[in-house]
Structure 1
Amino acid sequence: MIRRSRTYRLSAGLAAAALALTTLGAATANAVPAADQSTAATPGPLMNYVVNSKASPGHVRKVEQAVTAAGGKVLQSYAQLGVVVAQSTNADFRADVRAGRYGREVQSVGATRTAAVSEGPAASGLKSLGVVEAAPVPDPREGEQWDMVQIKADQAHAVTDGSRQVLVGINDSGVDDAHPDLAPNFDKANSVSCVDNGVPDQTEGAWRPTTSSHGTHVAGTVAAARNGVGIVGVAPGVRIASVKVVNDDGFIYPEYAICGFVWAAQHHMDVTNHSYFIDPFEFWCKDNGDQGAVQEAVRRAVDYATGRGVLSVAAAGNSNYDLANKTTDANSPNDSTPVTRTINNDCLDMPTELPGVITVASTDQGGARSSFSNFGLNKIDVAAPGRRILSTLPNNAYGLSSGTSMASPHVTGVAALMKSVHPWWGPRQLEAALRAQADDVACPTTTPDARCTGTTADNSFFGEGNTDALDAVQRR
């Protein structure tokens, strides 16, 4: 899972096997002023916002007009979600957008970050997102992939490597589509970058990594091709698309993530992998200000993707934190000055804690919970290998990396295999099967840990158990 610190923001430590084990302020009230917008807007920093309304074209058009009247610019409009992403230098934008003729259409409005927009003014205006095998031959380094043996992917490959009809989105820092282990399965037509203010960009190569190897590593675990080169992914026969949602500084802002979820839905992806949390808050609280508005906008995007047939799989996080018993957060906001604050379970790590998202914890080679992995009863769905995982890196390279970022693509790959064998299954059926087919793992007994609560069949460390690729491809 991508994590940030003041000096190094990508958690997985992709240079080698390093781990980065790594949000605030009072919420801004959405008060409705009595007066209409008749005075000049007060200049302020360039900021991005989500503005939520009822989900219909008519309501969203009125909100777009409200944004313009408040001195804002519409960056992206999602009528199907009732979400408008806007940009403005008006310091009073939150109040002004609710004060004019169409202010009544605004359900909530919130800034997507606490620092000014780093990528500068959006260059583009409003856009809408509309739209039995032979025995496997081992690849040269497949013998080093202990993780594939642990989840029985090697046995599953004797049944199938996956179907070309299945498309997996790698929502991450970009994918090196020229890598020899990724090029055979890469889908250029469905790849995109969302890091320019959340506006989709299909310019040639926009989906490629610039400062991070994180997404390329994730992609290899999901679907490195069986081609006599390097390694083999969990689902080496499926297609992958790069949905770039991580900017050059390692941040994933809400407008980037929303763009990615909607893009996946409109481009008929079957499974998407999300090895990150949405910045700048490690936990977004359900308040009446910025955080609550953003939480609602992202929830709608995930709901939309699920409704359009996309199963979303996400990393649980690398903070060794009990997601079921939240108390404090000392790491947010990470784009300005973090301040320690009291939180509760209404504050969510997004997207991993949103409804419909498969949350994946990390295990070590011996099967124990990785020390960095987040946990929580009824929060973790399944577990998968996440420590010292060998996978692809940019520039034809390979390397080891650790983190729940490395665990979730194993489950994404298993879901892709499952979809290949059961193409008529939707997200809910895939989700239920992933849980049911996982191999039960009990809480530790040799060295008991009081934080592991629940039963052997479902506990706070492993959820419903280790993901099982062999069961995934056996028809039922």
Structure 2
Amino acid sequence: MHRGRTALSWLPTGSALGRFCLVLVCLGAAVLASAPVPRPDFLSYLVVADRASPAGAADAAGAVRSAGGVLGAVHRSIGVAVGYATDPGFADRVRAAPGVRAAGATRTAPLPVPPAPPRRPPGAAGAGAVPARAFGDGGDAPPGSAGAGPPRTAAPGAAAGPGVPWRAGVRPAREVEPPLVPDPGERPTWNLAMIGAGHGHRGPPPGLARTVVAVMDSGVDDTHPDLRAAVDPERSVSCASGRPDTTPGAWRPVPEVLDSGHGTHIAGTIAAARDGRGIAGVAPGARIAAVRLLGPVGQYYPENIVCGLLWAADHGARVINNSYFADPWKYHCPSDPDQAAVIAAVARAVGYAQRRGALVVASAGNDGQDLRAVRIDRRSPNDRVGGPRPARHLGADCIRLPSQLPGVLAVRALDRTGSVTVYSNYGASGASLAAPGGDPGAGPDGQIISTWPGGGYAALSGTSMAAAHVSGAAALAAARHPGATPKELLSLLRAGPESGGSPSGQRILAVVG
């Protein structure tokens, strides 16, 4: 008996039992309340209307809402809207809506919440920002704040192409950024000499200070001494969330994001000041519109690209530099409904920019692939962390965005001997040109040295760097020929000789006199 009593003596009786049960209920409720409540994951979508007009944009926006999505940016000038949804059947419902030509997901890695509209100071549009027109209007106020969760680790085995590290997620920039080089002291360089720019070139044309080059990239450090006078804050913006954010400094790179210094390097090649220190760009004195596309998870998503192209076009850009490709698919295939919608939306934005008078320049890519041939893509989608990436067998109809769109000037890279580099993609139909891009195995003297965030300088190689040379030369041509159309600027730039290292007779960039 004693042992049994001892075993049961802890149980309360009577009113004590009631109090004990109440405590258990409260403890249970507290545990349930503290347990994390799973939130739905959103994907982003581009919706392309039949009509590339404000009426078409209204159709696209209505389709997003009718299908149960959260409306993001509405681009009235091209009949495109951005939507966010958690339902896998969302895209099919939108495609079936009247007035909709195409709709598709722009990412495979979900968002915890849709990006919130940028917050601006009351009564201000940014640092003296030029009022935006015909894009980014409307949209629903989504729950929560912007962002896509905490930084992620890059996928194992992710490789770096020449000058452009592979973006498979976020890594601290210090782990992947190139080593800095000493201040070059503005000494003559092989790359500027090759295209007829640099110290031996005659003075800048009078109109250069009014010529705007949009650098659509990872952001530009406008505090760098060589860029401080070049970047125009009234024309600079962040489109990293798919909407224009003119908060002062929003266009600057985010140091924690992989490859964030890339845009500063591009901007320096285009327009770094000729001031006796550092480097001089191809077109010192040109104005830079810094358009940050790179988002918080290290991706150039299509909705960011559309936002950036429209912003640049509506803010006076005569040249738009695109040294990237549209994530998460290295090549977009029209046979895939999602990717077809992305192609259609980005093509409309490119066409709009061209009609507004901008020459759109893009890097050809660093894979050394024949874009006319069947090829294999083992690196897409690149916004997933972990898990298999099945090899995709691609035909010639699968294109790199934006470099293979109509009217876009695709740029391949030359080494210091004037030969087209083995890493440059080739075979694309349409306009192409070759310009200095450097050899990643040749050391700093055989690469392109340019500005780097924090006031430094770095040496990189790639078709990204080649495109920047073309954009700088295009700015000079536009300043000397202010009435030239994008097609006429293209003809002027392609007046140079053919490369002896290119079996296809690749034209070499020549600065227009």
- What TM bracket, shorter-length normalisation? 0.7 to 0.9
- Paired with 1:303 and 1:370, the residues of 2 have a C-alpha distance of 30
Superposition deviation, residue 373 in structure 1: 1.4
In structure 2, the CA distance between the partners of 1:248 and 1:67, relative to structure 1 (3 Å rule), is closer
Whether 1:123 aligns to 2:116 is yes
CA-CA distance at 1:250 after TM superposition: 2.5
Q: CA deviation at 1:44?
A: 5.3
Q: 2:201 aligns with which of 147, 153, 157?
A: 157
Q: Is the 8 A contact 1:382 1:466 kept in 2?
A: yes
Matches of 2:252 and 2:239, distance apart in 1: 12
Partner amino acid, structure 1, of 2:373: N
Deviations 1:352-410 (A, max 9, x none): 11111110000111111222211226456110111110100011101111111111000
Alignment of 1:179 onto 2:173: no
Q: Which has the higher contact order (CA 8 A, sep 6+)?
A: 1
State yes or no: 1:201 paired with 2:245: yes
Counting only pairs closer than 5 Å after superposition, residues 326-341 of structure 1 correspond to structure 2 as 326-336=374-384, 337-341=388-392
CA 1:143–1:87 in 2, change beyond 3 Å: closer, same or farther? Answer: same
1:438 aligns with 2:496: yes
What is the rounded CA distance, in whole Å, between the counterparts of 2:396 and 2:132 in structure 1? Answer: 33
Cα distance, 1:346 vs structure 2: 1.0
Matched, 1:466 2:508: yes
Give distance in 1, aligned partners of 2:459 and 2:105.
37
CA 1:346–1:129 in 2, change beyond 3 Å: closer, same or farther? farther
Q: 1:123 to 1:248 in 2, by over 3 A?
A: closer
Aligned twin of 1:85? 82
Change (3 A) 1:391 1:427: same
Q: 1:250 aligns with which of 298, 315, 322?
A: 298
Pick the aligned partner of 1:301 from 337, 349, 353.
349
**Does the 8 A contact of 1:286 with 1:292 survive in 2?**
yes
1:94 paired to 2:91: yes
Taking the TM superposition and a 5 Å limit, the aligned residue runs for 1:56-67 are 56-67=53-64
User: 1:77 Cα deviation (Å)?
Assistant: 1.0
Q: What is aligned with 2:419?
A: 368
Distance in 2, matches of 1:404 and 1:254, equals: 20
Q: Work out which of the residue numbers 31, 34, 47 in structure 2 matches 1:51.
A: 47
- Of residues 348, 351, 361 in structure 1, which corresponds to 2:402? 351
Answer yes or no: is 1:216 the counterpart of 2:264.
yes
Matched residue type, 1:297: A
- Contact map agreement 2:293 2:300 (CA 8 A) in 1: yes
Counterpart AA for 2:434: A
Gap change, CA 1:467 and 1:339, over 3 Å in 2:
same
**Greater shift after overlay, 243-252 or 271-280?**
243-252
Q: Does 1:324 align with 2:324?
A: no
The runs of 5 or more residues in structure 1 that have no matched partner are: 1-42, 132-138, 445-451
Per the alignment, residue 111 of structure 1 pairs with 105
Does the aligned pair in 2 maintain the 1:185–1:223 contact within 8 Å? yes
CA shift digits 1:128-164 (9 cap, x unpaired): 9516xxxxxxx96332521101111026731426611
Distance 1:140 1:340, change over 3 A: closer
Distance (Å, rounded) in 1 between the aligned partners of 2:111 and 2:488:
40
1:285 to partner: Cα distance: 0.4
Query: Residue by residue, what CA displacement relative to the aligned partner does 1:234-291 show, whole Å, maximum 9, x if unpaired?
Result: 0001111100011243310000111111001111111011100000111100125101
Which of 191, 198, 202 is the matching residue for 1:147? 191
**Number of equivalences:** 400
TM-score, normalised to structure 2, is 0.74
Extract unaligned runs of 5+ from structure 2: 1-38, 120-124, 126-130, 135-182, 439-446
Amino acid at match of 1:169: A
How far did residue 55 of structure 1 move? 1.6
TM-score (norm 1): 0.80
Q: Residues 270 and 49 (structure 1 numbering): CA distance in 2 closer, same or farther, change over 3 Å?
A: same
Report if the CA contact (8 A) 1:283-1:349 is conserved: yes
The one-character-per-residue Cα deviations of 1:23-42 (angstroms, maximum 9, x if unpaired) are xxxxxxxxxxxxxxxxxxxx
Structure-2 separation of matches of 1:424 and 1:156: 27
Displacement of 1:82: 1.5
Instruction: Select 1:405's aligned residue among 441, 464, 467.
Output: 464
8 Å CA contact 1:235, 1:416 repeated in 2: yes
Return closer, same or farther for 1:150/1:280 CA change in 2, 3 Å cut-off. same
Whether the 8 Å CA contact 2:52–2:79 is kept in 1: the answer is yes
Deviations 1:333-359 (A, max 9, x none): 111242212211111000011111110
C-alpha distance 288-248 of structure 1, shift in aligned 2 (>3 A): closer
| Identity fraction in percent | 42
CA gap 1:156/1:376 in 2 versus in 1, 3 angstroms: farther
Q: Deviations over 1:285-308 (max 9, x none)?
A: 012510111111111110010001
Q: 1:113, 1:280 within 8 Å by CA — same for their partners in 2?
A: yes
Does 2:213 correspond to 1:168? Answer: yes
1:323, 1:379 within 8 Å by CA — same for their partners in 2? Answer: no
> Which structure's CA Rg is the greater one?
2
